[in-house]
Structure formats: C-alpha cells, structure tokens
Chains A and B, each alone.
Chain A
Amino acid sequence: MFDDEVSGPDDIAAALRAHRYLPDDGLATAVFLALRLNRPLLLEGEPGVGKTEVANVLAEWIGGPLLRLQCYEGIDVGQAVYEWDYARQLLHLRTAEATGRAGTDGDRALEDELYDERFLVRRPLLQAIAHNDGPPPVLLIDEVDRADDEFEAFLLEILSDYSVTVPEIGTFRAARPPVVVVTSNRTRDVHDALKRRCLYHWVEHPDADREVEIIRLRAPEVSERLARQVAGAAVSMRSLGLYKPPGVSETIDWARALTLMGDDDLVPAQVEATLGTLLKYREDIERVIEHDLSSMVRSLAGG
C-alpha cells in the first residue's frame, strides 16, 4: 500500500518528485498530514502555481483513478453526485406498458424496478465514495470558489462522513476514504466550516532555483542554460505588477516554445514573438516590452 512506505513529509516530497512534481516543505507536510489524518487538502493560491497538478500527481503515485469535479455556479446533485438515466427509465416504463404489466403489477413494483442501480448514473462524488477495490481514488474538486453556497454545504456533508444517501436505493459508504484535493482561486471565501474540515495550504510561486528544476523536469528538451534564463525572466516579470503574472505552467510553455524556435539563449526578437505563451493581456505584453526587454535579456543571457 502506498502509505506504508511513507513515514514523513520527506517521503512525500520524494514520491512526488519521482512523478515529476517538486513540492516545497510546506506542501509536502500538508499532503503528508492529509493522507495520514484522512482529511481533505484545501489548496489556495494564484492561478498557475500548480494546484490542480498536485491531484494529478497524487493519483499517478497512489495508483487509484483521478476523479475530477470542475465546479461552476449552479452545479447540483445531478452533475456532482448521481443522476437517474431518465431515457432508459422511460424506455423501461414503455416496455412495461407494452407488455401489459403496467396496470396489473401495480405502480409500486414498477417504481422499485425503475430505481434500480442499473439506472443510476454515478458522478464523481459518488464514484469516489463507492469505489471499493484497489488503491483509493483521488477526488479533485477543482475551483470550489466558482460553485455557490448551496453546493458547499452539500460538499461539507459528504466530506464529513464520506457517505452518500440515494433515497431510492440506500446509503453508499466509502470502505476507504478517497484522497480529496480541493482547489480555490479565492475569488470569494470558501465557507469556514468547509475550511475547518480541511488541511490548508497557500501555494506560492516557486523561487528561481526551484522553477529551473521544475522546467527541466517537465520539459527535458529545454537546456539548463535556457531554463535558467527563462526562470530569471519569469521572476523579474512577477515583480513588474502585471495584470496576470506568469504562472509556472506558462513558463514551461514559454521555455518549450523558445526551444522549438531553436534557441538556447533568450534573443529579444524571439522573446517578443513568443511572449504570447507567457502573458495573456495585451497591456502586460506592452509593459514587459517597454520595461526594456533587451537589457533584461542581455543581463540574463550574460549571467
């Protein structure tokens, strides 16, 4: 079992690293505690710092399926937990009617048939709870801040006792609780009760050295030299006060793009041509170019 070989945060860091993710001390400790104490892990931070990736990597390492629930306003039980397969239910009803059973058997028996498990469509939350064999699944509840209060209250209930009740069938209970990762971009505050259930970690942008490592790990085709320059440029751009400072995934894309263009050094012309992979606002691109791009490139290339 994956957690037998884990005795502390360092083992978590090593395991995630083996699956090409570089956590800092804080994240490794939070993940360790989440696994050990069977609690959901709530990750908040700027967009693009790799919150979602944590769940992907955990699933790879643990070996269970990754069940992803993307939140949005208005998400309801039908999309998050379960739904009945209405088309098949209707078909079943019509068949019953055609064979003349509808009138004779009485509505009661027919209704029982209609709400049989074979007509149940399982959505991510129920899948995570009803999963019984093999390594536990990793349940990713992505961007929970986009959902509304109604959904949060509901989520809290499920995460408290890891069980789901379908009135027509009964209660599903997790034999082994799933590993739950909840992410939020903090467009609004997640309810306190939900936060208290979870272990909390605020994910920071990595420092330049760690970012170089991440780029090298994720995009092995990028040379060490270029990775260092790209990471240096990203760090200095984050201090320019841009609308949308580049996240880690964008710097990886950028390093890839520059490598594809055949460069081993930051060259102003190529940088301008590929800046769109890194910055997503026209104003930001203008600001970076205005901010004496060439001198920044020169100093990084020289170093």
Chain B
Amino acid sequence: MGERAIVGFVDALRRAGLPVSLVSSRLYAEAMAAVDVANPDQAYWAGRATLIQRPEDLDLFNSIYLAYWGSAAVRGMAEAEAEAESLTLAIDDPDSDTGDDGAEPDPDDDLISLRYSSVEVLGSKDFAAYNADELAESRRLMEQIRLSGPTRRSRRRKPRPHRRSGARGPIDVRRTVRAALRTGGEPVVPVRTRPRERPRRLVLLLDVSGSMEPYARALIRFAHAAVIGRARVEAFALGTRLTRVTRELSSRDPDRALDAAGLAVTDWSGGTRLGAGIRAFNDEWGCRGMARGAVVVVLSDGWDRGEPDELAEQMQRLHRVAHRVVWVNPLKASPGYEPLARGMAAALPHVDAFVEGHSLDSLEALATLLLDDTGMLMGEASFADAGGPR
C-alpha cells in the first residue's frame, strides 16, 4: 500500500466533510504499516480505529471507504450500517395522517393535517437570511444570555478566604501543612475549603419541523447564542429524527454556524414526531448523563405526529433526571390559546415552566428566566399559572 494511496484516502474523507486532523492521518499511516494490508478486514479496521472518533461519522466513512478502496468485502461494515439505521426514526406513510378515512376522529384533525408536511424534506434550506432588525435584536439577546446561567454545587472545592469568622468546611490539608512550616510544625491556622459553583448544563431541544418554521429561525439563533455564551450547553434539533447540533453551533461566527446547522439538520421543515425524538434523546444522551441535573429547554409548538402516550412517557422520563424542564411554545402567546394539541396536553404535566417564545421579547424573557434560575426559584413557576391543562 503506497503512501500516496493513504494520503489520497484521507484527502477524500476531508473533501467529503470529515474533519481528519494531521495527527490522525499520521497515526493512520503508522497503523497501515503495522497491520497486514492484504487482509481487507485489518486494513479497514486500521482506518476506523485511527481516522474517526465518533459513531456518527461512521456512515460517511464507510461510503467513502467503499468508493475509494473499491468493493473489498469487509465484515465489520455490514454491522456498522445496520447499527446506524436503527438510530433513524421511521417516517410515516404520507397518507396515514392526512387520509379522509379518519382513523382518529379528532376535532383538531383538519388543522393538524394542514400543519404537517408528511414527507421528510431532505433539501436543507438556507436559513441564514435574517432581516436587519431581527439581527440587531438577536445580537442584543446574545449578550444577555452570555452572562451566566443556573449553577449547582461542584465536587471541586476551593480554599476559603483566610480567617473568616465562623468558617466551616473540610480542612485543606495540603495548605495547612504548608502554613504549619512557618509555625514550627504547629498547624495554628487550619485552611478550609468550600465548594465551587459550576454552571448547570443547559440542554436545548429545538423543534425544527414545518409547523415551527416561522419561529425556528429565531430559535436557532437563540441556541447559537446559548452555545457561544457558555461552555456547558448542548443543542439538538428535533425533526423527523434527532440531530445533535452542538458542534455546528459552537463556531464563533453566527452566520457560519447557521449554515453548518442547516447542513446537519436534514429534515428542516419536515414533520415532527416529538415523542420519538425525545425518546431518542433520552436513550442516546439524556438519561445516560447529559440531562442529569441539567436545565432542559424544549422549544416546540407541541404539534406531535406520534402517539401522545409516548410523548408523555418520554417527558416523564426526562423530567425525572433533569433539574428543570422548560417548555417554550410560540403559540402560547395567541389570545385564547389552550394547550389542546395532543402532544402539548400530554407533555404539560411533566414540565416545570411553560413559557411563550413567539417574539424576540419573549425570547429575552426566557433568557432572563434562565439567568435568574439559581436553583432556588425552580419549584415555583409551574405550568399551573401558565395555562396548564384543566
């Protein structure tokens, strides 16, 4: 296997959009030298072990691998593809929801069928076109949300200021011994520690389906501002499937971040299956640790194509591990709004705060809510005073 072929393969991966670092490509060359390259399995696994570091990149890697190295039958590849498929959520038959045979005689049915586009829209729209006013306003918002966020006590400790009266807390032995040197081995002044505060993780779940389109543009800005402002933010797009957009949104340039998120979310303006999306989040990320003790913000209008029972169940699961769940619904601002959409009604019992998100003002209010949220205020603003189910 020539050096040339190896470099060419890395190049092909990069052209396809896989970020392969110099370190990784050198490691790959070393690995190819170490294995028996005549054995297709070994050559394939040498590439997989060195060139990709995330299971999400597997599909792309496999397709480029096949295209570049030819159809060398590789045992590991079939499993890998089957795995990736199981993560993709099923898309309903386009006719099942809009059909007139009326499987479910729901009064909202007409409205729902109008709002759903049943097929997954795969072409990514360029949503970077923002008008000037909105841009200015959202920048203002960004500065606000950048400040801070709810904190929690960390397991890391820091020294207490010296000689504070009534200081308590575990003794910092290392510093105490150091200080004792000056007093002939007598630990006269014990140095104590106190817990540090850490910002709570903020997790944003953004509904990017068709019914959310007018708001999604503003909301994705919001997500971007949140990602930029704090290190501990995770953002996901909920559409016909769940897509993690944290990485795409973490670029410092908002416009480029928006473009990149547009690429990552293949179903921008498709239909929504909220329950399945939140389930995917719970299974893949949330319950394993990402949502534990975090503030989770769901941005959605609550129009769910899936089963309301599933949404209720998954929201309950999310609520059990999260510190607080905030649901932002742009429709809440409309006069006479009642959360009758099946999904919304099912989700509300498992939501700590239910707020509107139809305008930049209300997004600003949300930013303030997250700012004030020091963990003490949490229990109070419940959905009851925000128009919960009756």
Q: Which A positions have Cβ atoms within 8 angstroms of B?
A: 8-9, 24-26, 29-30, 32-33, 36-37, 39, 42, 44, 47, 72-74, 76, 78, 84, 86, 89-90, 93-94, 96-97, 102-103, 107, 110-111, 114, 145-146, 148-150, 185-189, 192, 195-197, 199-202, 204, 207, 241, 243
Contacts and interface: CB of A to CB of B under 8 A. Distances in A.
Contact of A243 (B48, B285, B290, B317): B317
Given A86-B173, A94-B185, A196 B21 contact: yes
Contacts of A201: 48-49
Contact of A37 (B30, B231, B289): B30
Contacts of B181: 93, 107, 110-111, 114
Contact of B45 (A9, A47, A96, A111): A9
By Cβ-Cβ distance, the 4 closest A-B pairs, closest first, are: A187-B289, A74-B155, A93-B185, A29-B45
Contacts, number: 131
Given A44-B55, A93-B185, A187-B285, A8 B76 contact: no
A96 B30 contact: no
B285 A32 contact: no
A20 to B, nearest CB: 22
A51 B54 CA distance: 16
Given A9-B35, A29-B46, A114-B181, A73 B155 contact: yes
Given A33-B35, A36-B34, A188-B290, A86 B177 contact: yes
Contacts of B76: 24-26
B79 interface: yes
Interface residues of B, number: 52
Given A93-B177, A150-B156, 8 more contacts: A26-B45, A29-B45, A33-B34, A74-B154, A103-B184, A149-B231, A200-B48, A243-B287
B376 interface: no
B83 interface: yes
Contacts of B45: 9, 25-26, 29-30
Nearest to B76: A26
Contacts of A36: 34
B361 interface: no
B42 interface: yes
Interface string B284-322: 010111101000000000000000000000000100000
Nearest to B154: A74
B289 A146 contact: yes
Interface string B172-212: 01101100111011110000000000000000000000000
A192 B19 CA distance: 11
B41 A97 contact: no
Contacts of B282: 243
7 contacts: A26-B76, A33-B50, A84-B174, A90-B185, A94-B186, A148-B156, A201-B48
Interface string B34-75: 111000011001101110111100100000000000000001
Contact of B42 (A29, A42, A93): A29
B184 A97 contact: yes
B13 to A, nearest CB: 15
